[in-house]
Amino acid sequence: MKITKRFIASLLAVLTMTVMLGTTVFGATTLLDFDNQTMTISRGHSRIVTCYNKSSNALDGVYVTNAKSSGTYAEILSNSNGTYKVALYIASDETSNGVSFWFYIADHDQYENVDVRVVDPGTSYGADTFADSYVGFQQQTADAIKNAAPGATVQITTTKWTSFSKAAITAWEARPDITLNVTFNTAIDTTCKISMPAGTDVASMVDAKGYIGFGYLYGAFAVQ
């Protein structure tokens, strides 16, 4: 068989994609053990992917392909002994019917993916309800703060989420009169309580990505 430049280029392209998908090719092995490699998420919702990193290297980022909205993205929420929890967000205005999230480990220059089927809200697929989703939690928190009586104490309890994002933060900033209490679980299921008094400088606690982590709040406002 005559080996042409086109044949060599095609072979290299196949090998490169196979390595990206995490299969074994000349020493490249699957590094992440996913709970789910495919799933369905409705527009305006999010779900959590838990994966165990079998290598000793960090999960350096998660990137999305085939999305049509900038509001479709991923966030690494936590890492406990190499077990990562990653939130996958599908924007309410996402027009694509399917997107892929690529998990990147820089030390191996390797990607592994989770494929997501995007459906309309209300579609029955056995996923989290809106109330259980990260987006739903933020909206419920915002509503509780907005609807609180003047000078009230607002209690937020979650066993699943460990941060506030824009919706909750904006509502909290607008209500400097309230005391905000949060009960949450850590990655190892330890229950923690925090209490932020009225007048707390909310803006000073927002990180570079626009979130306020409960772990950070615990350092300043822990309830023993």
- pLDDT of 25 reads 32
Structure-block tokens of residue 24 = 């074994």
Residue 25: which of 33, 13, 34, 37 has the closest Cα? 13
Residue 123 confidence class, pLDDT cut points 50, 70, 90:
low
Query: Under a CB-based contact definition with an 8 Å cutoff, are residues 46 and 89 in contact?
Result: yes
Across residues 106-131, what is the average pLDDT? 70
The beta-strand segments (E) located in the chain are: 32-34, 38-42, 46-53, 61-65, 73-80, 83-89, 98-105, 110-119, 153-157, 163-164, 179-185, 191-196, 212-213
- Map out the domains of the chain as residue ranges: 31-119, 130-221
Higher pLDDT, 3 or 165: 165
Task: Tell the CATH superfamily of the 31-119 domain.
Answer: Immunoglobulins (2.60.40.10)
Separation of first and last alpha carbons in the chain: 75
pLDDT digits (tens, 9 = 90+) for 188-202: 668 899 999 999 999
> SS3 for 208?
coil
Q: How far apart are CA 196 and CA 125, in angstroms?
A: 38
Task: Return the minimum-mean-pLDDT range out of 35-39, 153-157, 197-201.
Answer: 35-39
**Per-residue pLDDT reduced to its tens digit, 59-115:** 889 999 999 998 899 998 888 888 888 888 988 888 988 898 999 888 888 888 888
What Cα–Cα distance (Å) separates residue 58 from each residue in 9, 30, 133, 181?
Answer: 32, 14, 26, 33
Average pLDDT over residues 121-149: 72
Spatial separation of the C-alpha atoms in residues 72 and 190, rounded to whole Å: 31
